[in-house]
Amino acid sequence: MAEFTVRGGKKLEGEIEVMGAKNSALKIMPASLLFSTPIEVKNIPSIEDVFRMMDLLEGIGSDVTKISNSRFKIDSRGVEGKDLKKGIAERFRGSIVLAGPLLARTKKVFFPHPGGCVIGKRPIDIFLEGWKKMGAAISESKDGYEVSTKLLHGAEITFRNISVTATETLMMTAVLAHGKTILRNAAMEPEIPSLAEFLNRSGAKIKGAGTPIIEIDGTGGKLLRAKGSFEIIPDRIEAGDFLILGAALGKKIKVKNCEPAHLTAVISSLEHAGAEVKIEKNSVSISKPKILTSCDIKTREYPGFVTDVQAPFTVLMTQAKGESMIFETVFDGRLNYADELSRMGAKITTLDPHRVLVHGPSPLHGREIESPDLRAGLAFVIAALIAKGESTIKNVYQIDRGYEKIEERLQNLGADIKRI
């Protein structure tokens, strides 16, 4: 399995471009199941999670054709299967998104218990309850879940907890249903109105995407017809990571092809910590401050501080003067990486499963570390770039799930990182 070797301590400088959003691509691709025509999608990142979604789509009869490096055509007119490939779906959390549009199209779907990053409990009852309210029957076995329906109808669904994936999945399910569906306490992440805009352009009737209440007037089973191509929005998580890297090591780093409006919480925290930030239309430039000061963060749903950037920000705070409270409210188990940072020299006190106190600044030292999940893996890359000496980062597959050719892009900034 591939590894990264990293020699830390070098100042970084230059421009780095943000790829298409992983969390948008993994919803747009399943949305192809709602169409009677092929859809063309631009700016798809070349990452492992996208490749696994392609495998799942092809496994049920979709035809995925590469037009260019980041441009694909997805034709789901030949979809017949209802079973998602067990070996992939049970290791890939995003697989559950396919279940909604596949149920809407074929009236039956089987999927195994979905996997993904080990960052705490991520129950799927919120999905199952929504489908039941829309007229589906659920059958659970040791192998997974079978969801079937004779007729999907609109329903009023109030999420007990805000869930991005459930919001998007049930929104797509409702597009082909009979009657009106109302989703309350819906997530508001930018990927949701982006998806809704594309579906509306193709014949769907969705109102309120990007707000806590979304209304969908179903088509009564009539499939959508694509009108033009869809371009994946920039990845705000990746952009946030690169800004944090710039605050830690940047002479000056310009993060290009991003949407600054999606980054306000992260930018505000970086400015509070003393970083110099310059915002332009589609880019943000940042430099390491002379004195990096401590900054508390509390993760929450958009437009709050995004949980996926929490681990890199914690790494940054190991270099800040003072004490920083990191409060993770979205997932339990997402602070487990802190022990590895402590072994690199960080001074981190775990208060409870959701809070750590970071005491800084503390010098980090290179060592062998293993990526436990996607976002902590990228945080370890940043830690290794800060650290004195050489680090080896194992389980690079986790990082490849969400970051396209990350070592090559960091090398262009002057980072000493190699894939072996």
Q: Which positions are catalytic?
A: 117
Q: Are 270 and 243 in contact (CB under 8 A)?
A: yes
The DSSP bridge partners found for residue 312 are none
Q: Are 261 and 303 in contact (CB under 8 A)?
A: no
What is the Cα–Cα distance from 198 to 200, expressed in whole angstroms?
Answer: 5
Tokens matching residue 41: 């999608």
What is the Cα–Cα distance from 387 to 371, expressed in whole angstroms?
Answer: 16
Per DSSP, the three-state class of 15 is: strand
In 3D, which of 177, 171, 175, 178 has the Cα closest to residue 157?
Answer: 171
What is the Cα–Cα distance from 113 to 419, expressed in whole angstroms?
Answer: 32
What is the Cα–Cα distance from 406 to 316, expressed in whole angstroms?
Answer: 19
Residue 228: CB atoms within 10 Å: 10
DSSP-derived secondary structure for 95-155 = GHHHHHHHHHHHSEEEEPPP----SS----HHHHHHHHHTT-EEEEETTEEEEE-S--B--
Q: Are 34 and 104 in contact (CB under 8 A)?
A: yes
Residue 267: CB atoms within 10 Å: 19
